[in-house]
Amino acid sequence: MFSNRFIDFARKYILLTNDKAFIEYSKTLGAILETHISQNLHNREERIVKTVERIINDINREPKMEVALNNAIRISTRGIFIHGGTIQVEFEYFDKPRVRELGDLIFVLTVNFHHRKYLEKFTVTQLKKGQEDKYGANRLSLESAGKEQMYLLSRFPRFKVTRGILNKKEYLLQNYSGCLGSIGVFFKPGDMLIISAKTLEGILGGRSSITQRQLTVSMTASKFVARPCCCRILFCSGEIEEALWKSEPLRLFCSLCQSIACSDCFAGNVYEFSWKFLGGFIGEPTFVFGSKFNTSALGFLNDLLTAANQIVQKSPRHQHQDRILMANTQSGSGYVADHKNVSNHDERGFGIIQTTIEVEE
């Protein structure tokens, strides 16, 4: 039922996520996020977009973000900040046309096994600043524009890019995991909560605001003991599932399936987020076990990385980069360029952060 190649990959990947060096790596990424979010909240004048830029700069300067855990596994996290404007999209919001920003930051996780793409997930994240209410509680409040953007990242209706590097392109994206779009909220004293836009929309209902505590309690209360396998695999059901679950290959398969095909798109703080992101728990899967999974989302990601690559090649601002974002025509995606010493002149833009994990023999 399962090839030796898959069993080999599953064992190595599960061991990786429990390795001390991997945990230290996730802590380093969490610390970078926490540092800049804290600075953003202390400086009320600083725009979120500047925080994104500073995070990407620090990730690219940090030597610990590109390491070899052993002879068989290498991890690298790199980012790029695209200056000069956000990606604006037009869509229908309850039968009314709206134009909103797609997102501030796109997180991409790519896992290559024996030099072949085996797993990939990404999420489009819109960042918000939480406020302290009169009772001293951290609170997220969404104005009408914020609700429209949440609708976009939750449901992904057909949309057309009206401004930005994907200008004039139209997309109709599937959101199987519910985590293709997410909302990240900066809270005092310097933390970030991230949640699926689809889940947040359901929790809010018709409300316009919610406290950090209410969000956390809602997510904790909704947790349940997952079945051994919750992916869209036909044999994973009922008595057949219980019998197959006794097989080690199936246990390995379902352990990965829980993280890859069934996203847990909630993290209450930056350290939880960095571990879940690196472990493959957050984002919409585009590749699963070496095969394309969500071709519509994969096409969007490929278009985005290809367009970013063209900007890197043409703009004098990016000529200092060590390597360029390259579209992989065989797999349909790519990797994010090293991006150091970014200029701070533009007030608008968005970022891409990608972690690539190379698993060898």
Q: Is 183 a residue whose pLDDT tops 70?
A: yes
Residue 254 falls inside a structural domain: no
> What pLDDT score was predicted for residue 308?
87
- pLDDT at residue 234 in the model: 37
108 neighbors 301 (Cβ within 8 angstroms): yes
Q: Which residues of 23-62 are buried (b: 16+ CB within 10 A; e: fewer)?
A: eebbebbbebbbebbbebbeeeeeebbbbbbbbbbbbbee
Query: Distance between CA atoms of 84 and 105, rounded to whole angstroms?
Result: 15
> Which token pair is 206?
């018709």
Cβ neighbours, 10 Å, residue 206? 5
Q: What is the pLDDT of residues 106-117, one digit of tens each?
A: 999 999 998 899
pLDDT of residue 324: 37
**pLDDT of residue 79 exceeding 70:** yes
Phi first, then psi, for residue 338 (nearest 5°) are -60, 140
What's the domain count of the chain?
A: 1
- Chain position carrying tokens 């960095």: 274
The verdict on residue 244 lying in a domain is no
Nearest to 340 by CA among 61, 153, 45: 61
Q: Which residue has the higher pLDDT, 236 or 75?
A: 75
Note the pLDDT of residue 43: 72
Cis-peptide into 316, omega within 30 deg: no
Predicted pLDDT at 315? 63
Count Cα atoms within 13 angstroms, Cβ side, for 111.
28
Residue 327, pLDDT score: 37
Indicate whether 342 belongs to any domain: yes
Distance CA 51, CA 128 (A): 12
Q: Which of 92-96, 247-251, 312-316, 331-335 bottoms out in mean pLDDT, i.e. has the lowest?
A: 331-335
Is position 256 within any domain?
Answer: no
The amino acid sitting at 191 is D
Whether residue 172 is contained in a domain is answered as: yes
pTM: 0.85
Do residues 91 and 159 lie in contact, with contact meaning Cβ atoms separated by under 8 Å?
A: yes
SS3 275: helix
pLDDT at residue 347 in the model: 58
What pLDDT, on the 0 to 100 scale, is given for residue 206?
A: 85
Of 45, 32, 103, 35, the C-alpha closest to 349 is: 103
DSSP 3-state assignment of 46? coil
**Residue 268 domain boundaries:** 4-226+262-359
What confidence score (pLDDT) does residue 328 get?
39
Q: With bands split at pLDDT 50, 70 and 90, how would you rate the model's confidence at 29?
A: very high
Asked if residue 257 belongs to a domain, the reply is no
Question: Does the structure show a pLDDT above 60 at 237?
Answer: no
Residue 235 lies in a domain: no
Q: Is the pLDDT of residue 224 over 70?
A: no
Has residue 233 been placed in a domain?
no
Conformation bin of residue 167: beta by default, left when phi > 0, alpha when psi is -120 to 50: beta
The confidence score (pLDDT) of residue 45 equals 57
